Each structure stands twice: as C-alpha cells, then as structure tokens.
C-alpha cells in the first residue's frame, strides 16, 4: 500500500516544498496539491516538480469546469514533462459553491463532461489531430459558432507519456461507476472500509464490467486523518468540525452529497441533525453531533496496533493508497508520522 499526503492550499509554495522534500525522504509516495478558491494547483505542482526527485505529484483536484479540456491536457502534459513522468491528473467536479460562486460558470452535467474531458485529454496526449464532437465539447469550434477559421490541430510537443494516469474524485453512484470504467484511479471521501462495499460495490462492479483492460486495476485513494500514539484519541475531536462542514454545510437539504453518504453509512438521524444545526449557523453544536464511531472508523488515529488493524481494514476494502492527513503541528512531527505509517503498511 502506498502513502500519499495533500498539502495545505492556504500555505506558501516555498515552505511546503521544503517539507515535501523531507517527507519524500521519509517514505512518502505521492503528494496531492488541491485547488479550491486558492492559488492554482498547476503553479504549485510545477514548483514541487523542481524541488523533488521521485515522489509522484497529483492534482487533487483540478476542477472540471474551470479549464477547457485541451488546456487541462496541455497542463497535465507539461507537468508530466517537468516532473519526468511523475504526474497524476486528478479531476473532479468540485461543487456549485465554488464553480458558480467563484468562477461564475454553470455547474451542470458533471458525469457527461467528465467522460468527454478525459477522452479529449487522452487524444491530445496521443498527439492526434483533434476533432471531437461530443454533447458538451466540440473541437474545433463549428463555423456557425465562430469565425470558421478553426482547424484541427495536434499538440506541438511530444509528451513524456501518451497515457498520463487519471484519477477521478467521485462520490455518487453514477460518478463512481464512471471512475471504475474510464480512470486509472478513484478518490472517494470519508471512506469507511466496513461499509464501502454496501455503498459503492454495485457502482464499482458496473464500471469495471466496461473497463478497458489496458487501464490496469483500479487504484483506490482513501483520505484518513492520521495520528499514531498511546494518547492521541482526543485528536479525533478535531476531525468532527470538518465532517460537520461537509455533512451539514456543503449544499442545501436534499442536495448534499456528503449528507447522503453519512446516511448510507447508517447515520441518517445524526446527519439530519448535523445539517439542521449547521444551516442554522450553529457550527460548534453541529460538530458535537458527529458520531464518535464514524470518526474512529474513517480515520487512522490511535495506538500503533489500532492503526495497523485499520490499515488492514482499508486494504481489505480495496484501498491501494492512503492519502493521509497528518494531525501534527510541525513539519518534523509530520515527517515522523509518515515514517511510523511506513513501518505499519
């Protein structure tokens, strides 16, 4: 099992790069650079490529709606080039709060758009003369919608790889089915090993049934919080506000993917109460309602023996990469946690 880690998108590139170099030496396999309404992820990834040697670099995630498909392909090829073939293209739909609220772009048809974006990217990386007519994207732009001067073009540069791994962040059944069909990797959120098959098993099976064998086995990237020690259980309380934000605040009633997930995990009543409190502005009270069992089971927080048991549970549920969130105050402590986890996996 490999170990990944997401950097803080609110921090500075230079400070983070120095820490990533230390984490790389400690055994980190992949570093993820998120992109919210922060500095863009591509700049940070390019900087990290120059400051690291062998750790893989992943966008976690590039937002589906904020770039044209060909620009996404160009950026991925460029990052793969400057990192000597170490880049993973993480894509996701994000949510209407960011896409419409910050970018001013309609949040529509995430599944259809994802399929077309991935297909266009792979054609660009193969240096095909690009002619694509889909439901959501048409390249070149047809004459009736433009000047009529657009002609099919192919990427000038020769990519390091014509198949850059694609990782899809997906939660709903149709999105997860698509990830299992067309992507090299799938990134869920709040992964609970013992309930994962009940929630996503059918979707994964349906997608895998249509999967091209050349893609290889689907990689599964889980993202547990991490703290190892005899007295670290109180740190689980710090996970609760994050869960409350997503379950309670990421969408209106009836339109919150994370509330639906918590309900499928068997915490429907608690999810309803969290949402009610959060939408009423009672964020601290909402966090207190987050079930202790839920936090325990989706995290790696506890003594080494407990963490080792939970790592085995994640592996048994199909997880291939632990994209951890180290609960440590200093870079040195985060490096130590990665070293400890490396011994356990």
For residue 283, is the peptide bond before it cis, meaning its omega torsion is within 30 degrees of 0? no
Residues 248, 275: contact at Cβ < 8 Å?
A: yes
Q: What is the mean pLDDT of residues 149-169?
A: 97
- Could you give the 3-state DSSP secondary structure of residue 283? helix
Assess contact for 79 and 156: CB atoms under 8 A: no
* 300-332: pLDDT as tens digits: 999 999 999 999 999 999 999 999 999 999 999
Q: What pLDDT score was predicted for residue 16?
A: 85
CA 136 to CA 165: how far, in whole Å?
23
For 238-276, the pLDDT digits (tens) are 999 999 999 999 888 988 989 999 999 999 999 999 999
Domains and CATH numbers, the chain: 2-225+303-344 (3.20.20.30), 240-298 (no CATH)
pLDDT higher than threshold 80 for residue 11: no
| pLDDT confidence bin for 186, thresholds 50/70/90 | very high
- Is the whole-model pTM more than 0.75? yes
138 bridge partner residues: 133
Handedness of CA 215, 216, 218, 221 (dihedral sign): negative
How far apart CA 153 and CA 117 sit, in angstroms, is: 17
Helices marked H in the chain: 13-26, 41-51, 69-82, 96-99, 110-125, 173-182, 193-209, 240-244, 257-264, 268-279, 283-289, 292-298, 304-316, 331-344
CA terminus-to-terminus distance, the chain: 6
Whole-number Å distance between alpha carbons of 147 and 19: 49
Token code pair at residue 293: 């069992």
Q: Is the dihedral of CA 241, 224, 342, 3 positive or negative?
A: negative
């Amino acid at each position: 099992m490999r170990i990944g880690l997401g950097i803080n998108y609110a921090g500075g590139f230079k400070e983070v790069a120095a820490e990533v170099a230390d984490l790389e030496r400690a055994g980190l396999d992949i570093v993820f650079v998120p992109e919210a309404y922060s500095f863009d992820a591509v700049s940070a990834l390019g900087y990290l490529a120059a400051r690291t040697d062998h750790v893989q670099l992943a966008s976690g995630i590039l937002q589906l709606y904020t770039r044209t498909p060909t620009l996404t392909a160009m950026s991925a090829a460029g990052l793969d080039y400057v990192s000597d073939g170490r880049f993973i293209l993480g894509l996701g739909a994000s949510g209407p709060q960011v896409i419409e609220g910050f970018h001013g772009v309609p949040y529509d048809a995430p599944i259809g758009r994802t399929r077309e974006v991935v297909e266009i990217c792979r054609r660009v990386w193969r240096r095909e003369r690009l002619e694509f007519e889909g439901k959501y994207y048409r390249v070149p732009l047809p004459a009736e919608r433009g000047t009529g001067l657009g002609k099919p073009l192919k990427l000038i540069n020769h990519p390091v790889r014509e198949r850059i791994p694609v990782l899809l962040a997906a939660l709903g059944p149709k999105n997860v089915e698509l990830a299992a069909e067309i992507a090299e990797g799938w990134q869920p959120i709040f992964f609970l090993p013992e309930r994962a098959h009940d929630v996503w098993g059918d979707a994964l099976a349906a997608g895998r049934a249509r999967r091209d064998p050349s893609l290889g086995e689907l990689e599964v990237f889980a993202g547990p919080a991490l703290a190892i020690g005899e007295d670290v259980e109180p740190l689980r309380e710090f996970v609760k506000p994050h869960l409350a934000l997503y379950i309670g605040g990421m969408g209106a009633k009836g339109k919150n993917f994370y509330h639906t997930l918590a309900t499928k995990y068997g915490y429907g009543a608690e999810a309803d109460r969290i949402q009610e409190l959060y939408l009423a502005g009672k964020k601290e009270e909402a966090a207190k309602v987050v079930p202790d069992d839920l936090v325990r089971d989706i995290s790696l927080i506890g003594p080494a023996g407990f963490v080792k048991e939970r790592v085995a549970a994640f592996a048994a549920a199909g997880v291939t990469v632990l994209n951890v969130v180290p609960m440590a105050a200093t870079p040195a402590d985060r490096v130590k946690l990665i070293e400890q986890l490396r011994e356990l996996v």
